[in-house]
Amino acid sequence: MSYGLDGVISAFYAKRIRGKELIELWRHAEPRKISKYDYLVSASASSTSLVGGDASSIDYEEIDLWEVLIEKPKNTIIIPVTGDSMVGIGIYPGDGLIVEQINLPYQNSEEEDIVVVAVDDETLVKQFRREQGEIVLVSENENHAPIRRSEGSIYITGIVKTAIRRNL
């Protein structure tokens, strides 16, 4: 069965299709190409965009979202977010995270990666750090304290590559 991109996104949010099944739907979505324009849009009052007026008269290229967002499809999953501990970096409840699964001990997360991690029978999304021989999992919300654990007491399942937000 083939879905358009809007069908894939709807499946994620409404039909609760998750993980590898969603990646397979996305991989076979038709059409996957969208227009990418090369002009800038200003997000502040103190700067202006380079081009004004109708975008349809500007040169563009067709890009494939699959190729742009997913580097390693066989190791990539999409998972939903709950909770507000990462809002400081723009990850909100209801967002979908594109996560590249890692295979420990062959791959390691690096300092300040945003990771999906198993801690005390809970799966969390946090920023990964090391401090004085400890693993520190940092929230991006001052209302959530860092989680400190000894090396080997957590299990990192993947590194977050991007977040997808359906509604602003």
Q: Please count the residues of the chain.
A: 168
Say how many domains are in the chain: 2
Band (64; pLDDT cuts 50, 70, 90): confident
CA dihedral 168, 18, 103, 116 (to 10 degrees): 40
Question: Is the pTM here over 0.85, yes or no?
Answer: no
Q: Distance of CA 30 to CAs 2, 18, 62, 65, 79, Å?
A: 7, 19, 14, 11, 22
User: Domain range holding 63?
Assistant: 5-69
Question: Do 145 and 83 share a domain, yes or no?
Answer: yes
97-131 per-position pLDDT tens digit: 999 988 765 567 788 899 999 998 899 999 999 99
Question: Do 47 and 84 share a domain, yes or no?
Answer: no
Helices marked H in 14-163 — which ranges?
19-27, 65-69
29-53 per-position pLDDT tens digit: 655 667 777 666 667 666 555 555 5
For residue 117, give the CATH number of its domain.
Answer: 2.10.109.10
